[in-house]
Amino acid sequence: MGYVAVKGGTAAINESIKRLKYERLKKKEILDVKDIDGGMRGLIDQVMSESSLYSEELASTAIKQSEGNPEEAVFLLRAYRSTLPRKHYTRITSSGEMFVERRISASFKDIPGGQILGASYDYTHRLMDFDLIDEKRSDAVTWVEEFENEIIKTNDDTDLKNLPKVVDYLRKEGLIKNHPLNDEEPKDITKENLEFPTKRSERLQILTRGQTGAVTSLGYAALRAYGALHPTVGELRIGNLPLCIENPFDSEGSEDEYYIGDIKITEVECFMPTTVEKKRGQKEIEFEVGYGICYGQNETKAIAMSILDQCLEDKDKRYPTQDEEFVLLHIDCVESTGFISHLKLPHYVTFQSKLDSVRKTRKGGKEDEDKL
């Protein structure tokens, strides 16, 4: 079926869709959603984070449908998300209650509670493991059983649900300004359009669902030359955070709440030294805190987010990374890929119109030259 000029034709489109299905199935192997759920934790976390939808099962299905293309998977989940009514907002949660799996500080060696390395690629060599080609399920099961037995034997009395925060230590020392708690209800950016200047709650929402690559590159740009001084990771923690909603049958303001489950998150607090001017031109250095948080284990993104958060607080017009319109309007995965990809649509009418005026300007230009 030919694809003639602008008219794709229903038949041609149907054939294209069939061809896509063929591409997914042609090797005659079916990927079980459970396989994705079990083995693609990194991709699932990234997709959930950019989709603002916390469901490993849905993310796995989207990854299967999109043949592992994260851009498409996020697209599918965001569109699905549009059909879900927002029934409840969770109560304000303190990340101090997180059940911690990994927690490191690049600022202090001896943080109270200690450094907990947890699972990380940071300490591995990036050498191809060719044994994985012949990995057997039975070996994997034995390994897991042995590993789980080992955990039970070790004895540690660290209270993982109640680890102190590094930032509190600096605050006590007076090295970080003690901001009053802002428990103002956040603006929901999926229900209200963004207006500039923005509130911090809006900025944090957009940063956290930003495209991993985009957030990382802008964070990198800020770190490299355009904005922030060298930040230090005060604390990076990964763990499960319990969420609660108000009792829906109870009157407002009641203490009663329902626990609805845990989400796994990555949280980063980074410190940036800034100069503050005191009385009579005296200058002092003080630390400011940048904050990053996202679904799943997404450490680079969370750190980049914390850098950008601080940049957007600073608002130094010299740097694009500190210009909130520049950063916030361009890091969304669905928006940027959508508009770029629309260039594949035919543009006959607009181009015909432009052609007409280009010709007219040429004619006009020539006549003007003749006049001279």
Partner 1 sequence: MKINYNFAFFDEGSKREIRRASLKAVAIPGYQVPFASREMPIARGWGTGGLQLTLSLIGKNDTLKVIDQGSDESVNAVNIKKLIEKTTGVSVTDETDNASIIQSRHRIPEVPLRDNQILVLQVPIPEPLRAVEPSEYETKKLHAENEYSGAYLMLFEQIIKYGNMSTGADHPVSVHDRYVMAPSPIPRFDNPKMNYSKALILLGAGREKKIYAVPPYTKVQSLDFDDFPFEAESFEDKKCRLCGATGVFMDELADGKTGEVYYQCNDSSYCLSRLNNIAGHEAVKNGGI
Rounded Cα gap, residues 100 and 118, in angstroms? 9
Shorter beta-carbon distance to partner 1: residue 13 or 140: 13
Radius of gyration of the chain (CA): 26
Asked if 100 and 238 count as a contact pair (C-beta separation under 8 A), the reply is yes
Stretch that binds partner 1, among 132-140, 248-256, 264-272, 345-353 (CB under 8 A): 345-353
Cα 50 to chain centroid distance, Å, stands at 5
Rounded Cα gap, residues 59 and 37, in angstroms? 8
Residue from the set 184, 277, 339, 370 that interacts with partner 1 by CB under 8 A: 339
- Number of residues located near partner 1, criterion CB under 8 A: 57
Cα separations in angstroms, 51 against 34, 54, 116, 240, 287 = 20, 8, 29, 19, 33
| DSSP code string of 307-325 | HHHHHHHH--TT-GGG-HH
Residue from the set 2, 10, 133, 255 that interacts with partner 1 by CB under 8 A: 10
Q: Interface with partner 1 includes 353 (CB under 8 A)?
A: yes
Tokens of 14: 């149907």
Q: Interface with partner 1 includes 341 (CB under 8 A)?
A: yes
Residue from the set 9, 68, 112, 164 that interacts with partner 1 by CB under 8 A: 9
The distance of closest approach from Cβ of residue 340 to partner 1 in the complex, given in angstroms and rounded to an integer, is 8
The distance of closest approach from Cβ of residue 197 to partner 1 in the complex, given in angstroms and rounded to an integer, is 7
Q: Interface with partner 1 includes 2 (CB under 8 A)?
A: no
Shorter beta-carbon distance to partner 1: residue 51 or 216: 51
Stretch that binds partner 1, among 90-98, 211-219, 229-237, 347-355 (CB under 8 A): 347-355
Site for partner 1 in 296-325 (CB under 8 A): 325
Shorter beta-carbon distance to partner 1: residue 42 or 346: 346
| Residue written as token pair 């303001």 | 253
Half-sphere exposure of 266 (CA within 13 A, CB side): 28
Rounded Cα gap, residues 43 and 21, in angstroms? 22
Q: Interface with partner 1 includes 57 (CB under 8 A)?
A: yes
Stretch that binds partner 1, among 76-84, 101-109, 231-239, 250-258 (CB under 8 A): 76-84
Burial grade of 355 (CB within 10 A; 0-12, 13-18, 19 or more):
exposed
Asked if 234 and 271 count as a contact pair (C-beta separation under 8 A), the reply is yes
Q: Interface with partner 1 includes 244 (CB under 8 A)?
A: no
In 3-state terms, what secondary structure has residue 261? strand
Half-sphere exposure of 177 (CA within 13 A, CB side): 15
Shorter beta-carbon distance to partner 1: residue 171 or 200: 200
Q: Interface with partner 1 includes 364 (CB under 8 A)?
A: yes
Site for partner 1 in 180-209 (CB under 8 A): 190-197
The distance of closest approach from Cβ of residue 269 to partner 1 in the complex, given in angstroms and rounded to an integer, is 29
Site for partner 1 in 129-148 (CB under 8 A): none
Residues making contact with partner 1 (CB under 8 A) = 5-10, 13, 55, 57-58, 75-76, 78-79, 81-85, 190-197, 325, 329, 334-335, 337-342, 345-358, 360-361, 364-365, 367-368
